[in-house]
Amino acid sequence: MKIGIGMPNPVRGTPGQALVDWARRAEERGFSGLATIDRIAYPSYDSLTTLAVAAGATSRIGLVPNILLAPVYPAVLLAKSAASLDQLSGGRLTLGLATGGREDDFTAVGVDFAARGRVFDESLALMHQIWAGEPSFAPGPIAGRVPILIGGGSKAAIRRGVTWAAGWTLGGAPAEYAGAYFAQVRDAWRQAGRDGEPRLAALVYFSVGDDAEDASRAYLRDYYGFIGPYADQVAESALRTPEAIRGAVAAFTDAGCTELYFDPTTSSVDQVDRLADLVL
C-alpha cells in the first residue's frame, strides 16, 4: 500500500509559503502523493492552484485532488486545467472527483445542487471526449486520458468508477467499512470487464504530538461546523497517537486499500516529519 499525505490547503491561516515547504518536505521524506481537499464556500486555497504550485516545487511526488467537487466546475475548463497540470507535472496528476454534498458550495457558483449527479455524469463524458481530441480544447498531444478516482460510497459512484475511472477514493470511513466497499467495487470492476485491478484509495485525518491537538480539533470543528453537534465527533475521530496511526496503516492494508492519504489538521510543516517517522 502506498502512503501519501494531504496538504493543509483548507486549514485557516496557513501561509502560502508553508504549502510550498510542505510539498518539498513530503517529497524528501518519501510520501507517494500529495492530496488536497476541495471547497468553494470556505476560506481555503484552491486545489488545482495548490497542486500546480506543489508540482513546480517538486519533481517526483504524485498530485491528487481528493476530491474536486466536479459539478461546480465547467467541464471544458476542468478538462483543460487538469490536462495542463498533468502534462506540466510530467504525468503526476490523478484527478479525484465526486459530486459533493454541501449546498453552499453550489450556491456560491450558481449551480443547481439538486442536479449535481446528472451534471457530474455529463461532465465525465465531455471531459473524456476533450482528452481524446473531440473537440481539441485541451493541451495536446493527449495520450489517453488523465487518470480519475471517483469519490463516494454510493452505487452511482461505483457505476461512474467502472465507466470512467482508474479506481475509487473513500474519505472519512473506518477500515472495516472501506474493506466491504472495496470488495463491492472490485466485483463491479470484474463484471464490467475492466482489465487489471482498480486503484482503491482512502483518506484519514491526523495530527501528531500533544502540542498539535488543540489546533487539530479547532480546525475540524470549524470545517465541519455546518453539520452542528456532529462536528465534535469528526474532530475526535482524527488519528492522534502513534498507535492509532500505525494501526490505521495495518487495517487499511488488510482492507485491500492500495493508497492511503493522511490528511493534516494543522499546517505546521513539522507534521510531515512526525508522520513520516511513524509510517515510512
CATH code, 165: 3.20.20.30
User: Residue 140's pLDDT is what?
Assistant: 61
Does the global pTM surpass 0.75?
Answer: yes
The domain total for the chain is 1
Residue 9 has pLDDT above 80, yes or no: yes
pLDDT tens digits, 245-278: 999 999 999 999 999 999 999 999 999 999 999 9
Instruction: Name the average pLDDT for the chain.
Output: 95
pLDDT per residue as tens digits for the range 194-253: 999 999 999 999 999 999 999 999 999 999 998 888 899 999 999 999 999 999 999 999
> Over 70: is that where the pLDDT of 19 sits?
yes
- DSSP E strand boundaries for 80-230: 95-98, 148-151, 167-171, 199-206
Helical H runs in 30-167? 47-57, 75-88, 103-109, 116-131, 155-164
Domain that holds residue 143: 2-279
pLDDT at residue 139, rounded to an integer: 66
87 strand-pairing partners: none
C-alpha span between 36 and 48 (Å, rounded): 8
- 33 within 8 A of 64, measured Cβ to Cβ: yes
- Assess contact for 56 and 27: CB atoms under 8 A: no
